[in-house]
Amino acid sequence: MGNIGGWEILVVLMLGLLVLGPTRLAVVARRVGSMTREVRRVAGAFQEEVRDLVEDPSIEALARERGRRVAESIPEEPEPPTESDGA
């Protein structure tokens, strides 16, 4: 759960109890739990979609072909002239 320890969670819960009261704290806790679950579900689906796209062999072949074309279109830099000792 990150860098949040037991004491920090206890302090947040006590403050929530004082500010919201016992009934509203339960409602808010349920909403936060359902929102957290929904965010995790969406994030997991997004990660799976990106993973599928990255591992798609047709997309990889297309990217390699484009990279090859770009590499071929860039002219090589000429070597700088060297001074000859014959002068």
Please list the rounded mean pLDDT of every run of 10 residues in the chain (87 residues).
79 89 89 94 93 80 86 74 63
Q: How far apart are CA 10 and CA 8, in angstroms?
A: 5
- Say whether 8 sits in a helix, a strand or coil: helix
pLDDT (0 to 100) of residue 85? 56
For tokens 């969670």, name the residue. 9
**Residue burial 19-54, b: 16+ Cβ < 10 Å; e: rest:** eeeeeeeeeeeeeeeeeeeeeeeeeeeeeeeeeeee
Please tell me the predicted confidence (pLDDT) of residue 4.
78
Q: Are 28 and 20 in contact (CB under 8 A)?
A: yes
